[in-house]
Amino acid sequence: MDITLESPLDMHLHLREGDTLDLTVPLTADHFAGAVIMPNLVAPVDSLNNLRKYRQAIESYCHGKNFRPYMTLFFKNYSRQELEECREHILGIKLYPAGITTQSEAGVSDFSTIEKTLEDMQELNIPLLVHGESNGFVLDREREFLEVYRSLASRFPDLHIIMEHITTADTVQLLDEFDNLSATVTLHHLMITLDDVIGDLLRPDLFCKPVAKTPRDREALRQAVFSGHPKLMFGSDSAPHPRHKKECIGCAAGVFSAPVALPLLAQIFEDEGCLELLQGFVSANACRRYDISPPAKQILLTQSPWQVPHYYKNVSPFFAGQTLRWSINSSFS
Ligand code: NCD
Ligand code: ZN
C-alpha cells in the first residue's frame, strides 16, 4: 500500500547552525514542504538582521527542494517598531523560560515584564510559541506551567498561543478550554514513556525536554492525536546533538527524529487504523491554525522496509539500527 501526503509540515524543528546545516536541512527539506525553525542558536536569533542571515544560511542548503523555512524569533521584549519590521518575515516568536532547556539562558525570567510585547504581538497578529515548563520538579514542570498558559490565554484572547511539544494529559485537556490555544506534539512523545528513557539501561538518545512522561499521559496524547484533534499539529522537536554531547556525563537534551519522522508516523497511524488522519496532523491542522499555505509538494510513502542507520554523521537518530516498515519513496512538486 502507498500513501501520498500533501505538503507535510514539521511545526517545531531545530536545524542548528554552521556545518550542521549540511546534515539537517536536506533531511527535512527532502521530506517536508516546510518547517518551523527554532531560534535557540548559540547566540539566539533575536533581531531581523540575524534572522535574515540565518534564513539565507538555511536556504543555501535547500536548492531545488521546494522547502519553506518558517522562521521564528527568540522572545525578548521587542519594541512596537521592531515587531512591525519583523512581522512579515516570521511565523511567530518563541518564548523560553530562562535556562529551561538547551541554549535558553537568555529566555524570560519574569513574566510580569513582558506584557507590552505580548499586547503588541496580539495587535499585530504575531503568534506566540511557548516552551511551557516551570523550574520545579522535572515531572511536574509542564503541569505547573498550565497556570501561565491559562493566564496568557485569557488575558490575550486574540493572541494565538502554541503550547509546544505537549506531554501530559492535563495539557491535552487545557487545549479545549481556550480557542486561542493550539499545540504541537512530537513523534517520540507519542511513542515512549519515561520508562524507555531510564527504566532499564539509560538511553541518552531518548533524553529530551520536556522528558517523556507516564503511560497515562502518553495515552492521552495518543487518544487526542489518533482521533484527529483539530488543534494538534505535528512538530518533531528533532534536536540533534553530536555524539560527544550525548554519550557523556551531562548528556544534552534532544531526540534526533528528523530522518524517521514521516515513516514512523505512518507506522503508528497505521497501527491505530487511522492513516486517513495523518494528513490533518502533518499539514491541514497547521495550515488552518496558522493560516499558512505551504509550497505544493507531494510525498509518497510506500511499505518497503529499511534499516535506520546507527549514525547520521556523528548524531544518533531516533530508532537507530531498527527496521521501519514505511519508506519515503519519492517527493514531487
Ligand atoms: C531542544 C534543543 O536541543 O535545542 N532540546 C530538547 O530536548 N527538546 C530544545 C527544546 O526544544 O527544548
Ligand atoms: Zn524544541
Q: Give the start-to-end residue ranges of the domains of the chain.
A: 9-289
State which ligand 1 atom lies nearest to the alpha carbon of 209.
Answer: 7
- 107-111, 125-129, 142-146, 234-238: the lowest-pLDDT one: 107-111
Residue 264, phi then psi, degrees to nearest 5: -75, -35
Q: In what order do the strands lie in the sheet with 128-130?
A: 9-13, 34-37, 68-74, 92-95, 128-130, 161-163, 181-185, 232-234
pLDDT in the model for residue 331: 72
- Residue nearest to ligand 1 atom 5, measured at CA: 254
Instruction: Return the C-alpha torsion angle 220, 108, 286, 306, nearest 10.
Output: -70
Residue keyed to cell 519513496: 329
Does the CB atom of residue 239 touch ligand 1 within 6 A? yes
pLDDT confidence band for 333 (50 / 70 / 90): low
The pLDDT tens digits of the residues spanning 216-225 come to 999 999 999 9
Q: pTM value?
A: 0.98
CA distance 56 to 45: 13
pLDDT in the model for residue 203: 98
State which ligand 1 atom lies nearest to the alpha carbon of 12.
Answer: 11
CA distance 22 to 311: 15
Residue keyed to cell 505551504: 294
List the CATH code of the domain at 9-289. 3.20.20.140
